[in-house]
Structure 1
Amino acid sequence: MLQIPLWKRVIIIGLCLLGLAMAAPNLFYPRVEAHNDAVAALEKTGALTDAQAAARAGWPDFLPSGLVNLGLDLRGGAHLLAEVHLAEVYKARMDAIWPEARKVLAAERATIGAVRRAPSPQDELRIQIGNPEQIARAVEVARTLASPVVTLTGVGQNDLEVTGEGDTITIRLSPSEQAATDDRTMQQSLEIVRRRVDAAGTREPTIMRQGQDRILIQVPGIGSAAELKALIGTTAKLTFHAVVGRGSNPDAAPGAGNILLPAADQDGLYYVLDQVPVVTGDELTDARPDTDQNGYPAVAFRFNPTGARTFGDYTAANIGQPFAIVLDGKVISAPTIQSHIAGGSGIITGRFSVQEATDLALLLRAGALPAGMTFLEERTVGPELGQDSIDAGRIAAGVGLVAVVGFMVASYGLFGVFASVALLINIAMIFGFMSMIGGTLTLPGIAGIVLTIGTAVDANVLVFERIREEMRHAKGPARAIELGYEKAMSAIVDANVTTFITGVILFVLGAGPVRGFAVTLIIGIVTSVFTAIWVTRLMVSAWFARRRPKTLVL
């Protein structure tokens, strides 16, 4: 039936108006962006500067304020490709196992003899025993340290492989545990990098894993790759150690089970510390800028229940002993424990500036990177280049739109005008939907929009040609229009479903620019089917009801 029910008309018009309303803020991009930044600042700090207050007042709060985020290639920004040092995690794991292994083997000292740690690669722990004839017994005891791997692929396997040869026990991670450790390390690194980037107030960063040990980081709007490296490249690894001694010789042998680290604020001073930390920054739950008893900048911290209990027990048992706070391999403070510190909170003092205390608190809150990173690739995209890309995209979209509209009007007359109006609504709905979901527009995304402009009228072409065919069979105008839409529907659905599936595959399997293209392609398919079938049909129906033509000129 040519007539469209009222409820369908309301839905069609409502969706079109919603799309136009959501897309409208993009016409005032700088003003709305400044308004959104001011609102975010107000939510974060509870106060606004005069400039921020003016920016917030520059766009009414009752109007939509969602924007299409611009990608790195359009806004400018920084691009980094980082390699995570997974071997460092293996070494930390072996260092953590050594005290437990020493304890269980020491219980068998009467049988296996003296136990000591031997030099070994980063991913292995080698332990020498005094009685080589009991190596089998030593391996049996060491295997009690292993536990089942908690992954689907590691069912039935233990996390440690323990072997013995001569007088040496070798402990290493099993292949399944090594794979699980790699995944955990990469996921933790991704999350911490994301926290640090988000805390800096950047817009729509792209942070994803690439390959086995690499992370791609793209942050639009940031000044340079060096600035981004400074933000995320610091490991910020905080540990608390027992102090064995101190001196001025950087080449002094710290002794078995100890490490020699320099003081951060005093040249020539070195501390000998127990290699195994009492607690680590992984057990922190909060860190914030504060001041010490003298009013100097400091960082206050708080542990989780496990860390608080360990920290409290240690301070209770070691009153009067120095306690070193180590950050990224340097002793930033070594206060003497004056009393039992209960509650799991404390303060880090040092020669900090206000900014340094603020930055340190930020890094500690975000968490320590589980391993260091090497930046294999870094690139800065200037805002001028991004603006050039936007201008080129506008020209391409404008030329494509003019060409398509000209062809449709020349080929189908008034019906071509209807299709052209629907095409404009279609473009607005693409931007409106991307604004609603907070989508990111990239240069390949612009290519997807240009492609949508070219293909969006395909459905109208199929419908109009089918109407022409029905008119040749002496059908009346109303019947011809009705049959045109009915008979073209299957071809329209088939063509767009196959393209939609292709877009989904590109989005799922692709990365970076490919995904940017896939997003606009998928959205464009959905909106073009809606506008080509329902919006043009609504316009044709309204025109026909008003004019009641005896024939159609197509």
Structure 2
Amino acid sequence: MLNQYPAWKYLLLIVVLGASTLYALPNLYGEDPALQVSSSRNTAVDISTQEKVRKLLQDANVSFNSILLADEQILVRFSDTEAQLTAKDVVKEGLGRGYVVALNLAPRTPDWLRAMNAAPMYLGLDLRGGVHFLMEVDVAAAVHQAEERYISDFRGLLRENKVRYVKIGRYIGRDGDSAVEVKFRSAEARDKAERLLEAEYPDLSIDDEDRGDAYFMLARLQEQEKRETRKLALKQNITTLRNRVNELGVAEPVIQQQGDERIVVQLPGVQDTARAKEILGATATLEFRLTDETHDAEEAARTGRIPAGLKLYTQREGGHALLKNRVMLTGDYIIDASSGLDQQSGSPAVYITLDGKGAGIFSKVTGENVKKLMSVVFIERKTETRLVDGVPVKTRRTVEEVINTARIQEQLSKRFQITGLDSTKEAHNLALLLRAGALAAPIEIIEERTIGPSLGQDNIDQGFASVVIGFVLVLVFMAVWYRGFGLVANMALAFNLVVIIAVLSMLQATLTLPGIAGIVLTVGMAVDANVLIFERIREELRNGISPQAAINSGYAKAFSTIADANITTLIAALVLFGFGTGPIKGFAITLSIGIITSMFTAIVGTRAVVNLVYGNRRVEKLSI
């Protein structure tokens, strides 16, 4: 029994070890405090912006290590956080509102490693420090908004079909039950309205009610539709929050649902919590309105005389626009938006998809206004915090601006496109706003927790110490108890740690304290396989068979036991990942990766070394 491996297995191990070492290396270089400057909406970040930032810092005597422009973002590195914080105030004040200035941590990974897409693991909130928000979504408001849309729809449908009614409003019963209430003067008018609405809105539950001489009709959302409305509101809020967090330049935010009405937002490395709250808490809506082409908007802005039926807006790119009071459509009906190029002209375009109700409304109003200008109005309510005499003061302001104006080329329905955009970047930004510019339901921050950088560093130090202590104790035990074979297992254990870190880095996973616990647990579990193999080899030697046969038998007979034990643990880890949240997921990820890598290193890795040492020669005694 020669115990030899084919050359390809050794080559595989060399490739895996080499690649793992390369992709684990970035974690050794650490990070620099950094300032990230990116564009906000229509502003551009270019060489001139870079030079302006450089001059601002030099004039303020703020020292920095480097300043780099890449991917339309400026990254300034500093030696310490004090310079970073000072620079943030200087640059933010110097550049103005057109730019997003965010604090960050920039990896010191060398260029030759970055060229291979090697990057360090992200550190979670408990390790890097940062801010944790627990937000409650007012899902009842989402149902309320849906009912408000029905009020507008009913009003238009009844007028179109010349059904006379007294009033339309929202009804709230004593038990909290809500409905759209329509009051009629006659039962005949009510019956006609019911037939129209039942045909147009089959998903609604419609009931009659008589109160004295008045005839009422109550239209309610069915329970299934209410559940879907709440679910969609929560999902859209998560999407909206994720896009807003991007403005902060956070490397690896965690935004996930918790329960039926709550959203968890974790921003590792963020120290400017006020800025984070302002962005996350802002509410926004979208409106489509017809643009007036007969009056001079600039004249109206200058004189303050606004023609009847019109409203004056500012345009994001500068100037003013007069829009008609009637709202053609709101962003609530948009279910998707994407940017691309117009097939005929090749110019930038945004492709929009509406839901069924929105498609019906839009088809009618655009059919009546072909060749006319239509504008998209972005309305946002923001809460800003300013220091007045050293005291933080919150102010609320509403921003209403025209983000796009284009001509209606044809009657539009469920899917249509907007052209007349200046660039593909503008088209992309507009699509982003249309997809996630508005919160589907109001949110409230009910819990805020900040973990300082020093506490995060303490957690890193303690976590690193736990891994080292556990690793060293296992090394000592294996070397003393299994001698030469124990040293082989120790080599495999070190190999396993390198592979785990490399895989986490390649996946750009977020390492948390529970994740470190998973790594520590893996260190102990990784040698379990070798313990089973080595004890089996000892047993075979006691039975009197040759060392070569004992090695082969030990690995062969222990394999099924090792596989069974690891598969059952892996199943448990996957269940934790599937049903857990936050820290539990972090633990499950590292544990799952550790189980897979430990099987590879403990079985294939140690066997390769043992075969190199003992294979292809006569052996009288094993060091085990």
- TM-score, normalized by length of structure 2? 0.68
Asked if the contact 1:459/1:532 (under 8 Å) is kept, the reply is: yes
| SS of match in other structure, 2:220 | strand
Match of 1:19 in 2: 20
| SS of match in other structure, 2:168 | strand
Within the candidate set 600, 608, 612, 1:538 is matched to 608
Deviation track 1:353-389 (CA, whole Å, cap 9, x = no partner) reads xxxxxx9999678511112111111111111111111
Instruction: Output the CA distance in 2 between the equivalents of 1:47 and 1:480.
Output: 62
Within the candidate set 246, 261, 271, 1:213 is matched to 261
Alignment of 1:278-357 (within 5 A): 278-281=328-331, 327-328=379-380
Match of 2:245 in 1: 197
Q: Which has the higher helix share?
A: 1
Match of 1:139 in 2: 194
Pair 1:369–1:346, CA change in 2 (3 A):
farther
Within the candidate set 422, 429, 441, 2:492 is matched to 422
Report whether the alignment pairs 1:44 with 2:71.
yes
Question: Number of residue pairs matched?
Answer: 489
Instruction: Output the CA distance in 1 between the equivalents of 2:233 and 2:556.
Output: 56
Match of 1:464 in 2: 534
Deviation track 1:305-359 (CA, whole Å, cap 9, x = no partner) reads 988996896697899xxx9957247875699xxx996676799xxxxxxxxxxx9
Asked if the contact 2:372/2:408 (under 8 Å) is kept, the reply is: no
Pair 1:125–1:163, CA change in 2 (3 A):
same
Match of 1:120 in 2: 171
| Residue range with higher mean Cα deviation, 397-406 or 19-28 | 19-28
| Residue range with higher mean Cα deviation, 87-96 or 20-29 | 87-96
Instruction: Output the CA distance in 2 between the equivalents of 1:416 and 1:66.
Output: 33
Report whether the alignment pairs 1:162 with 2:206.
yes
- Give 2:25's aligned amino acid: A
Alignment of 1:48-63 (within 5 A): 61-63=114-116
Match of 1:277 in 2: 327
Asked if the contact 2:380/2:400 (under 8 Å) is kept, the reply is: no
Shift of 1:497: 0.7
Shift of 1:239: 2.9
Report whether the alignment pairs 1:95 with 2:139.
no
- TM-score, normalized by length of structure 1? 0.76
Instruction: Output the CA distance in 1 between the equivalents of 2:377 and 2:13.
Output: 65
Shift of 1:209: 1.1
| SS of match in other structure, 2:71 | helix
Pair 1:318–1:55, CA change in 2 (3 A):
closer
Deviation track 1:19-42 (CA, whole Å, cap 9, x = no partner) reads 12211111113279999x999975
Instruction: Output the CA distance in 2 between the equivalents of 1:427 and 1:54.
Output: 21
Pair 1:521–1:54, CA change in 2 (3 A):
closer
Instruction: Output the CA distance in 1 between the equivalents of 2:252 and 2:444.
Output: 23
Report whether the alignment pairs 1:188 with 2:240.
no
- Give 1:327's aligned amino acid: I
Match of 2:184 in 1: 129
Structure 2 residue runs of 5 or longer lacking an equivalent are 39-49, 51-65, 79-104, 292-310, 315-323, 340-348, 354-358, 382-396, 410-417, 422-428
Instruction: Output the CA distance in 2 between the equivalents of 1:400 and 1:81.
Output: 35
Instruction: Output the CA distance in 2 between the equivalents of 1:172 and 1:481.
Output: 75
| SS of match in other structure, 1:228 | helix
Deviation track 1:240-279 (CA, whole Å, cap 9, x = no partner) reads 5699xxxxxxxxxxxxxxxxx9999xxxxxxxx96x6224
Match of 2:285 in 1: 237
| Residue range with higher mean Cα deviation, 521-530 or 132-141 | 132-141
Within the candidate set 125, 149, 156, 1:72 is matched to 125
Asked if the contact 2:285/2:331 (under 8 Å) is kept, the reply is: yes
Pair 1:546–1:447, CA change in 2 (3 A):
same
Asked if the contact 1:422/1:536 (under 8 Å) is kept, the reply is: yes
Deviation track 1:421-456 (CA, whole Å, cap 9, x = no partner) reads 110010000000111111111100000000111111
- Give 2:448's aligned amino acid: E
Shift of 1:71: 0.7
Deviation track 1:392-432 (CA, whole Å, cap 9, x = no partner) reads 11111111111101110110111111101110010000000
- Give 1:22's aligned amino acid: Y
Instruction: Output the CA distance in 1 between the equivalents of 2:75 and 2:601.
Output: 43
| Residue range with higher mean Cα deviation, 56-65 or 177-186 | 56-65
Pair 1:539–1:31, CA change in 2 (3 A):
farther
| Residue range with higher mean Cα deviation, 457-466 or 181-190 | 181-190
Match of 1:29 in 2: 30
Asked if the contact 1:477/1:551 (under 8 Å) is kept, the reply is: yes
Pair 1:242–1:169, CA change in 2 (3 A):
farther
| Residue range with higher mean Cα deviation, 500-509 or 121-130 | 121-130
| SS of match in other structure, 2:146 | helix
Deviation track 1:94-148 (CA, whole Å, cap 9, x = no partner) reads 22222432344346667xx53312452495211100114654444333322314x
Q: Which has the higher strand share?
A: 2
Match of 2:137 in 1: 84
Superposed CA RMSD: 4.4
- Give 2:278's aligned amino acid: A
Deviation track 1:483-541 (CA, whole Å, cap 9, x = no partner) reads 11111111111111111111011100111111100001000001111111011111111
| Percent pairwise identity | 36
Deviation track 1:454-505 (CA, whole Å, cap 9, x = no partner) reads 1110111111111111111111111111111111111111111111111011
